[in-house]
Amino acid sequence: MLLRENRVFAVAVGGEPKDLSVMGRMGAGELEDIEGLTFSSTAGKAVYRHSASHILAHAVKELFPDAKLAIGPATAEGFYYDFDIHVPFTPADLEAIEKRMLELIKKNSPFIRKEISKTEAAEIFGRMGETYKAELLQDIASGETVSIYEEGGFVDLCRGPHVPNTGRIKAVKLLSIAGAYWRGDEKRKMLQRIYGTAFDSKEELKKYLEFLEEVKKRDHRKLGRELDLFSINEEIGAGLILWHPNGAIIRKTIEDFWRDEHLKADYKLLFSPHMARLDLWRKSGHWDFYRENMYSPMEVEGMEYEIKPMNCPFHLAVYKSGLKSYRDLPVRYAELGTVYRFERSGVLHGLMRVRGFTQDDAHIFAREDQLEGEILNILDFTLFILNTFGFEEYDVYLSTRPEKYVGSPENWELATKALRLALEAKGLKYDIDPGEGVFYGPKIDIKVKDSLGRAWQCSTIQVDFNNPERFDVSYRGTDGKEHRPIMIHRALMGSLERFFGILIEHYAGDFPLWLAPAQVEVLTIAERHIEFAGSVSAALRKEGIRVQENFENEKIGYKIRHSAMRKVPYSVIIGDKETESGGAALSARKKNGESIGPFPIAGLIDFLTEEIKTRR
RNA sequence: GCCGGGGUAGCUCAGUGGCAGAGCAGCUGAUUCGUAAUCAGCAGGUCGUGGGUUCAACCCCCAUCCCCGGCUCCA
């Protein structure tokens, strides 16, 4: 039986995680339903890391007896524990705490579960001065008893389960210190949070730390500067992006691709202004529901105007500018619309979280009978676009009706069903996020998995029952009467800025040829080769290939290194051989050192244009 | 916004209550070289910004802006 393996440190009884020790108290019949928990399962990881967080708390209490305990759960990547402490922790404290943790692990103290009455627990934690635990106790409504865990003399209120003893934790690492509000509520006290992670072996921990290194190396802010892609300038303002030539050419390439594909998919392209009268935003409901993300209005000739946080009202206005018949539907409007949203200074982050960004927005007005088909179209289209950028794995979520909503329950049901059927027709696995829909309709969110396996939310498909009502949009049906179309909002990449940030990290700055700012660099061996090299780069440039020249007076090794570090996909070296043969035999070098060719110039052009065309 | 850590040359980063530094990048010159760094020289700074303490502040104090790690929220 699996349980005999020493990899098992807890069990699940009927899916419920329990301490390993429950085995001894079970009858033979009950053992059927039992499953060993190891580090390979999500539930197992949580038990393991939660145990590590207890050890963290234990170590902190020993070193800082004044610290009060708050909560210490496992997270997806590790664990944390929140403490109320007068003087914030320093990085040196972190090292000392980690050292103490290793000592506690070495002691191999058993985790002992006790069930006691709530009043008894209140008494214990009250005596210990653990006010946060006391508050937690009050909120545990169900049942008269609670469980506490003791390990090496350290007692904590805890549902459990835990690993059998502290020595079971094989590898642990404290990672960072951060402030965090008690219960995530900014009106309450700011606590000190220590983040850490734990693994079942030193090798796994090492691999994880390497992963963190890799994440750091790929940081789009770092690569953005190194590759001269974009910048953010204090003088211009926080959260506002300057696209440099290298970034701008990538954006232009993405935009061209996006527009071309939208036209092929029978969307109509729109452009709309960056501001509009405040009355428009009152009508759309944004001023009521979204004001905290909007900037203050500005006055123009006695009238108030507002910079746009969204594109939808403009698209509605275009729709309404003429009568629509059922024959016109579905109407698909798409725009790369730049919006501005207020974000608190503390949340801004490179390209990922900014104050001005361009949405790849579209609004589709459809008849009820077209809804499912349209959603299916959008899903297909979305996956095609995401695929082109090398994203092949997705996490899909279907969000259903929240507590506060507009529209009729019947409509919600209809739309949710259409979303679900479309997902199923595509054979996409999805999770339901109950009650997480927007107030105006249900939605599908797609998170892409990047090359490091990290999930990023990009695409969203939202049904909207609200705006068609508010703006009184309609179409003339076969019966000659006015009908209300259903509106779908959707974005594929979400925001160009954010998507660009994700792409930078996904590719680690090594953009595929079709996106690379400079696609080829022509390098000369010596001064006498400059003239011919110039003719080679001119020939490539004439074919629309982005060429860069390095005719500097440097050794070829230096130029190759420079080119590779700037992540230029190909370099062509021009020396005596090439010059003498008049370009009959050109070879190119990939940035990793692999060589292609030799080709005549035309052959090199064909090779490159083919790779560009296929967007590999 | 809040808690903590930061801001010194284009970049990465030393530094100290008493003359502002290094490497890389840049410029100039020499070298003319075949697949990831040739050599030498030069230049580069309101030490984030504003105020204060001091004979003297990059350093200490206050304020402010921005950045980083989180909290909350989201594209």
CATH number of the domain bearing residue A501: 3.30.930.10
Contact A137, A122 (CB under 8 A): yes
Strand nucleotide closest to residue A497 (CA to C1'):
B75
- pLDDT-based confidence at A79, cuts 50/70/90? very high
Q: How many separate domains does chain A show? A: 3
Contacts by residues A318-323 (CB-CB < 8 Å, ≥ 24 positions apart): A318/A270, A318/A272, A319/A363, A319/A365, A319/A473, A320/A471, A320/A473, A323/A476
Residues A381 and A488 in one domain: yes
Strand nucleotide closest to residue A436 (CA to C1'):
B74
Residues contacting residue A536 through CB under 8 Å, at least 6 positions apart: A522, A572, A574, A578, A583, A586, A601
Q: In what order do the strands lie in the sheet with A570-574?
A: A547-550, A520-524, A570-574, A586-590, A595-599
- Residue with structure tokens 């305990």? A69
SS3 at position A68: strand
Report the distance from CA of residue A555 to the C1' of nucleotide B37 in Å, as an integer: 9
CATH number of the domain bearing residue A530: 3.40.50.800
Residues A210 and A347 in one domain: no
Residues A474 and A592 in one domain: no
Residues A18 and A74 in one domain: yes
Residue A351 lies in a domain: yes
ipTM over 0.85: yes
List the nucleotides on chain B closer than 7 A to a protein CB.
1-5, 7, 11-12, 30-38, 65-75
Report the distance from CA of residue A190 to the C1' of nucleotide B53 in Å, as an integer: 33
Does the structure show a pLDDT above 80 at A597? Answer: no
Contact A286, A294 (CB under 8 A): yes
Q: Which of A24-28, A189-193, A382-386, A440-444 has the lowest mean pLDDT?
A: A24-28
Residue A370 lies in a domain: yes
Question: What whole-number distance in Å separates Cα of residue A314 and Cα of residue A331?
Answer: 14
Q: Which helix (H) or strand (E) holds A288?
A: helix A286-289
Report the distance from CA of residue A252 to the C1' of nucleotide B23 in Å, as an integer: 36
Residues A546 and A502 in one domain: no
For residues A190 and A576, which has the higher predicted lDDT (pLDDT)? A576
Strand nucleotide closest to residue A528 (CA to C1'):
B32
pLDDT at A310: 93
Residue A163 lies in a domain: yes
Report the distance from CA of residue A346 to the C1' of nucleotide B6 in Å, as an integer: 14
User: Strand pairing partners for A299?
Assistant: A304
Residue A304 lies in a domain: no
Q: Which of A45-49, A268-272, A288-292, A375-379 has the lowest mean pLDDT?
A: A288-292
Residues A79 and A157 in one domain: yes
Does the structure show a pLDDT above 80 at A91? Answer: no
User: Strand pairing partners for A332?
Assistant: A364
Longest CA–CA span in chain A (Å) reads 94
Q: Which of A106-110, A260-264, A345-349, A477-481 has the lowest mean pLDDT?
A: A345-349
The sign of the CA dihedral A255, A260, A266, A268 is positive
Report the distance from CA of residue A604 to the C1' of nucleotide B70 in Å, as an integer: 50
Residues A489 and A587 in one domain: no
Q: Which of A352-361, A369-378, A408-417 has the lowest mean pLDDT?
A: A408-417
Question: What whole-number distance in Å separates Cα of residue A453 and Cα of residue A95?
Answer: 29
Residue nearest the C1' of B29 (CA based)? A553
Report the distance from CA of residue A176 to the C1' of nucleotide B1 in Å, as an integer: 22
pLDDT at A550: 94
Residue A283 lies in a domain: no
Mean pLDDT along residues A329-354 = 91
pLDDT in tens, A362-397: 999 999 999 999 999 999 999 999 999 999 999 999
Residues A495 and A552 in one domain: no
pLDDT-above-70 percentage for chain A: 97
pLDDT at A88: 80
pLDDT at A31: 64
Report the distance from CA of residue A117 to the C1' of nucleotide B1 in Å, as an integer: 41
Domain boundary among A453, A475, A506: A506
Strand nucleotide closest to residue A526 (CA to C1'):
B32
Residue A368 lies in a domain: yes
Domain around A6 = 2-214
Q: In what order do the strands lie in the sheet with A79-84?
A: A68-69, A79-84, A190-199, A171-181
Domain boundary among A506, A534, A563: A506
Residue A512 lies in a domain: no
Question: What whole-number distance in Å separates Cα of residue A615 and Cα of residue A210?
Answer: 30
Mean pLDDT along residues A505-529 = 95
Structural tokens at position A15: 């899916």
CA distances from A495 to A10, A24, A251, A294 (A): 44, 56, 11, 17
- Catalytically active residues of A are 312, 341, 359, 361, 363, 443, 489
Q: Note the residue count of chain A.
A: 616
Residue nearest the C1' of B1 (CA based)? A344
Does the structure show a pLDDT above 80 at A478? Answer: yes
Mean pLDDT along residues A252-270 = 97
Strand nucleotide closest to residue A530 (CA to C1'):
B32
Does the structure show a pLDDT above 90 at A489? Answer: yes
pLDDT in tens, A579-592: 998 888 899 999 99
Strand nucleotide closest to residue A552 (CA to C1'):
B32
Report the distance from CA of residue A420 to the C1' of nucleotide B22 in Å, as an integer: 62
pLDDT in tens, A97-150: 999 999 999 999 999 998 888 888 888 888 888 889 888 888 776 667 888 999
Residues A70 and A204 in one domain: yes
Question: What whole-number distance in Å separates Cα of residue A333 and Cα of residue A490?
Answer: 10
Residue nearest the C1' of B38 (CA based)? A555
Residues A319 and A370 in one domain: yes
- pLDDT-based confidence at A1, cuts 50/70/90? very low
CATH number of the domain bearing residue A179: 3.30.980.10
Residue A483 lies in a domain: yes
pLDDT at A143: 66
Residues A210 and A231 in one domain: no
pLDDT in tens, A177-213: 888 888 888 788 888 899 999 999 999 999 898 888 8
Residues contacting residue A381 through CB under 8 Å, at least 6 positions apart: A261, A265, A492
pLDDT in tens, A148-173: 999 988 989 988 799 998 999 999 99
Residues A552 and A453 in one domain: no
Mean pLDDT along residues A487-499 = 94
pLDDT in tens, A531-550: 999 999 999 999 999 999 99
CA distances from A45 to A9, A70, A198, A204, A239 (A): 10, 21, 9, 12, 37
